Amino acid sequence: MSVNEVRVKRVDDSKKFQVKGTGPESNRTFAIGNEDHTLGNALRHILIQNSKVEFAGYSVPHPSEPIVHIRVQTHQPTTALQALQESCETLNSQCEYVLQQLEEKLPEVTADSIALQAKLAEMLEDDEEEGDEEDVCMEE
C-alpha cells in the first residue's frame, strides 16, 4: 500500500442504519453507514426546506469512518423518522428526475459533440495545409 492509498472501511449490515438517542420521537440522530458528506448534505438541505422540521444538521464523526450522523428535530406531531423518510423519498425523486433529463439530452449532446469534433478536425487540417504553404514561401 502506497503512502497516498487509502483503504475505505466498510460498515457491516447491522450498522448501516441506527437510531441514536432516547426521549421524544421528534428529536433523533440517525447514523447511516457507508455514506459520507454527499448524502448527509443532500438530506440536510431537503430536511431544512420541510416546514415540519425545526432543525436539521449532519456530521461525519471521523473522515476515515464511512458513517454520517443526521440530526433531526421536528414540530409535533411529526416524528424525526417520518421527516427523514420524506426527505429520502424527495431526494430519490429528484435523482430520478435528473437521470431522466440526462437520458433525454444525452443523444442530443452526443450528436453535438461528434459534429464539434468533426469541425475541429477540419479546422486543424486547414491550418496544417496553410502552414505547409507558408513553409514553401519561406524556402524560396
80: exposed, middle or buried (C-beta count within 10 Å: 0-12, 13-18, 19+)? buried
Check if the beta carbon of residue 98 is closer than 8 Å to that of residue 106.
Answer: no
Q: Would you say residue 42 lies in a domain? A: yes
Q: Looking at the domain assignment, is residue 44 inside a domain?
A: yes
User: Which grid coordinates are listed for 88?
Assistant: 429520502
pLDDT tens track, the chain, 140 positions = 566 665 666 767 767 999 998 889 999 999 999 999 999 999 999 999 999 999 999 999 998 889 999 999 999 999 999 999 999 999 999 999 999 998 898 888 888 888 889 999 999 988 887 766 555 555 55
Q: What is the tally of structural domains in the chain?
A: 1
State how beta strands 53-59 and 27-33 pair. unpaired
Q: What CATH number is associated with residue 78?
A: 3.30.1360.10
Would 139 be classed as within a structural domain? no
**Residue 117 belongs to some domain of the structure:** no
Residue 23 is assigned to a structural domain of this protein: yes
User: Residue-wise over 31-50: b if at least 16 C-beta within 10 A, else e?
Assistant: bbbbbbeebbebbbebbeeb
Whether 58 is in a domain gets the answer yes
* Cα distances (Å, whole numbers) of residue 95 to 2, 11, 91: 36, 24, 6
Report if residue 123 sits inside a domain. Answer: no
Please give the model's pTM, rounded to 2 decimal places: 0.71
Give which of 35, 41, 37 is closest to 17, Cα–Cα. Answer: 35
Question: What does the pLDDT read at residue 39?
Answer: 96
| Domain membership of residue 58 as a residue range | 13-104
Alpha-carbon distances of 93 from 13, 56, 86, 97, rounded to whole Å: 25, 20, 11, 6
pLDDT of residue 22: 86
Tell me the HSE value of 133 on the side-chain side, using a 13 A CA sphere.
6
The DSSP letter of residue 9 is: P
Asked, for residue 77, whether it belongs to a domain, the answer is: yes
